[in-house]
Structure 1
């Protein structure tokens, strides 16, 4: 049985549909249940509640960026197997997106209004990386996931001790991000030099500072 070859127009329409699912609140549907679904409702309140919401908003926007990055890379990837890996990773990241959004609702908060801006920027970066080469594209995934892992470590340290729900979500996200980064390197991704990773870290700081409250 032959495999259908999708045209550029087909892929663009698919990307548009995925963008809407990513950016419209409530549109993302997880394939796995939230790790926090069986945990008791926590008693996080006051400034701790606001701080936790800020952290989860950052993580949600990070997943918006991940979706855009993977979709941009899938659009320009040269090898079908690399394109497939990008699309599979994007599908798995939908779980994170939905979990973070659900947790924000439980905290009586919302997602960032800057998400469309960061989606567009990340999509452009991903498409450019994929256009250069598949090895660069996969290397960018690995470097991004390593950066996200450090972010999650920091957020886990900042969470209130009794916020079991947020902690369960971030811990599972961390495991998934480590796996995605490892898979990207094993598939032939370039291990970026420290200066490149430094620039990526600086860009990440801009995103976190902007989305913590907005």
Structure 2
């Protein structure tokens, strides 16, 4: 019962409470640029997508850690989740600075991602870690595309996305080092399809 309460509290904090970062925000020393209303709207939309992705990541890691069998894998998942909380803090603040808002669909994304994480853990640690590695690779691809799409003058958002990209790459490498299995192509394709739905909706709402 104590474990269930702890996990429920973690879910509530992720979706509804402000996140905190132990590391300095990557954009802390960068001056705010003069952006047009359209550039602000676009940048806020992209940062909302990134924030939504971090909400999903928290849920995935939580579900995977709950069902992981190997203590090393479970601890690695919890450590990665802790680092992703910082990404939540960075994107939350940047969205507010750009005059945007977080996605209203975050609770839905969280619930779905938690279920996926639990399912991934139940099929075994190698596949659990493989799911983690592929998730991080695909998130890294999205972040790289955002670096190409963000307004050139928005150096603050670009600094945040760049650091997030570096962290996600490290998480994927960690999973591989722990023995992640390579997911079959149909599974990767399904993940990409679901990701496209999430990014398209969260950019707007």
Q: Which category of TM-score, normalised to the shorter sequence, fits these structures?
A: over 0.9
Deviation, 1:18, is: 1.2
Which of residues 7, 26, 29 in structure 2 aligns to 1:15? 7
Moved more, 193-202 or 103-112: 193-202
* Unaligned segments of structure 2, at least 5 residues: none
* Unaligned segments of structure 1, at least 5 residues: 1-8
SS at match of 2:33: coil
Measured in 2, the distance between the counterparts of 1:145 and 1:14 equals: 25
Measured in 1, the distance between the counterparts of 2:26 and 2:177 equals: 28
Which of residues 83, 87, 109 in structure 2 aligns to 1:96? 87
Residue by residue over 1:161-209, the C-alpha shift from the partner in whole angstroms, topping out at 9 and shown as x without a partner, is 1100000000000000000001001101111122211110000000011
Structure 1 outlier segments of 4+, above 4 Å: none
Partner of 2:29: 38
Partner of 1:5: none
Deviation, 1:47, is: 1.0
Equivalent residues of 2:21, 2:86 under 8 A apart: yes
Equivalent residues of 1:36, 1:168 under 8 A apart: yes
Measured in 1, the distance between the counterparts of 2:6 and 2:69 equals: 17
Partner of 2:107: 116
Measured in 1, the distance between the counterparts of 2:25 and 2:2 equals: 32
Equivalent residues of 1:12, 1:75 under 8 A apart: no
State the superposition RMSD in angstroms.
Answer: 0.9
SS at match of 1:119: helix
Measured in 2, the distance between the counterparts of 1:197 and 1:149 equals: 14
SS at match of 2:204: coil
Which of residues 78, 83, 87 in structure 1 aligns to 2:78? 87
Deviation, 1:132, is: 1.1
Matched, 1:139 2:127: no
Matched, 1:24 2:16: yes
Deviation, 1:31, is: 1.8
Equivalent residues of 2:22, 2:86 under 8 A apart: yes
Report how many residues are paired.
205
Which of residues 166, 188, 194 in structure 2 aligns to 1:197? 188
Measured in 2, the distance between the counterparts of 1:31 and 1:138 equals: 26
Measured in 1, the distance between the counterparts of 2:186 and 2:51 equals: 26
Deviation, 1:25, is: 4.2
Measured in 1, the distance between the counterparts of 2:20 and 2:63 equals: 20
